[in-house]
Amino acid sequence: MKPCTIARLAGALAVAGLVTGHALAQAPDLQPLPEPKFNKAQAELGRYFFFDVRMSGDAALSCATCHDPAKGWSDGQPLAKGYPASEYFRNSPTIINATLKNRFMWDGRLDGSDAGTLVRDMMTEAHTMNMDARLAQERVKQVPEYVAMWQTAVKKGDDPNGMRIFNIIGEFIKSVTSRNVPIDKFLKGDATALSAEAKAGYDVFKGKGNCVSCHNGPVGSDGKLHKTGVPENPEVWNDPLRAITMLRHYSTSGMPNYMNARTDVGSYAITKDKRDIGKFATPSIRDLKYTAPYMHNGMFATLDQVIDFYDRGGGAGSELKPLNLAAAEKQALKTFLLDGMSGDPVTVEIPKMPAYQVRAFGKN
C-alpha cells in the first residue's frame, strides 16, 4: 500500500472514529411514551376475550387471572399461578406497555412486534390456558353477541376464526398503556411535572446510579439481555409443580443437558450461548407503583429492596458495579420511580360476559 493511501485510510478511520464518538456522546435517556396504535373495534372485542374464562381449556382462568387490572395487570404474587394442576416458575409481568417493547417474556424469547404470537402461546400452552384454537372458535360461535361484534370488528359475513382470536386479543393488549405519567410531561418540556425530590432521583437515575444505561427509551428498556444476578427463588425447586414447568420449558426449547439445571438459566435456554446463562431482558420500569413484587422471580417485594440490590452491585456474577448511594439518593431514586415514572391507574371497564346461546341448526 502506498503511504498516501495509508494516510487517507487513517484519515477516513479518524473521521469514522469521530462519528462514533459523537454517537456515543449522545447519552441514552428516557423518552416520552408514543401514542398507542391499535384497531379500535378489534381491541373492543379483544377486551371481552381477555376477561372471558371460556378462552381457557377448562374455563377456569382468563388472561386477567394472571394479568389483573386491579393488580397492575399482573397478579401481585412473586411467582405466577398456572393452569389447574400446574404452576409457573416466573413472575407474571404486567402487560402495561408490553407491546411497546421489542421483546416479550422475561428471557426475551418472543419478538415484541408480534402480539398475536404471544397471545397464541399464552392461550395454547398447557401450563397457562391449555386452549385449542379450534375449540376457542367454536365456543365463540355459540355466543351471538360475539358473532355480531366479530362482523363489525373483522368483516361483515366473516365467521369467528381461532387464529384471528389471538390477533384480536393482541389488539386489546396494545391499548393497555400508561396514562398521564409525570415523566412524559417533564420530557415534553413541563419542568414542574416532577417534584424537586423526583428530579433529584432522575439525576441519580441518569448519573451516579447509571440505571439509564439499560433502562432507557420510551418504556425504560434497552431491549437487551443482561445479567444482574437476582437471587434464585427457592420455591421454584421446592414446589414440584413449578420445577416441572421449568424443566418442560427447557426441554421444549431444546436446551442441552437440561435435566441437570437447578437454576433459572434465563435467556440461555433460548440462545444456547453459555454467555447468556442468567441473563434476562431489561423490563419496562413504568408504573412500578402498581406492579410489585419485582424481577423475573418476584424476589423483591419493595423498591427499597431493588435499590439496595443495585447499590450492592447486584448479585452473583452480575455485570453491575456497586453504587455507594447515600440514603437521600436512594430515597430520591425511589420517589422518581414511584411518582415520576408511574401514572394514573390503567383501568378498563370489565365486560359483562355474554352467555352461550346455541345457534339454530344449519346456521353454523
Residue numbers at the binding site for ligand HEC (CB under 6 A) = 61, 63, 65-67, 80-82, 88, 90, 92-93, 95, 98, 101, 104-107, 118-119, 122-123, 128-129, 169, 173, 209-211, 213-215, 226, 228, 230, 280, 282-283, 285, 288, 291, 294-296, 306-307, 310, 319-320, 333
- Cβ proximity to ligand HEC: between 122 and 255 the closer is 122
- Cβ proximity to ligand HEC: between 186 and 294 the closer is 294
CB 81 to ligand HEC: min, Å: 5
CB 156 to ligand HEC: min, Å: 26
Q: How far apart are CA 270 and CA 296, in angstroms?
A: 16
CB 363 to ligand HEC: min, Å: 28
- Cβ proximity to ligand HEC: between 141 and 215 the closer is 215
Task: Give the number of other Cβ atoms within 10 Å of residue 8's Cβ.
Answer: 11
- From the list 211, 190, 61, 56, the residue with the least C-alpha distance to 136 is 56
CB 93 to ligand HEC: min, Å: 4
The residue assigned the cell 388472561 is: 63
CB 15 to ligand HEC: min, Å: 31
Q: How far apart are CA 52 and CA 300, in angstroms?
A: 31
CB 147 to ligand HEC: min, Å: 20
Name, in order, each residue with C-beta under 8 angstroms of 339's C-beta and a sequence gap of 6 or more.
182, 194, 195, 198, 289
Q: How far apart are CA 243 and CA 249, in angstroms?
A: 10
- Cβ proximity to ligand HEC: between 96 and 149 the closer is 96
- Cβ proximity to ligand HEC: between 156 and 323 the closer is 323
Q: How far apart are CA 86 and CA 241, in angstroms?
A: 5
- Cβ proximity to ligand HEC: between 198 and 214 the closer is 214
The answer to whether residues 146 and 160 touch, using CB atoms and an 8 Å cutoff, is yes
Q: How far apart are CA 299 and CA 61, in angstroms?
A: 25
CB 266 to ligand HEC: min, Å: 7
- Cβ proximity to ligand HEC: between 18 and 316 the closer is 316
Q: Which amino acid is residue 45, in one-letter code?
A: L
Q: How far apart are CA 226 and CA 319, in angstroms?
A: 8
The grid coordinates listed for 59 are: 374455563
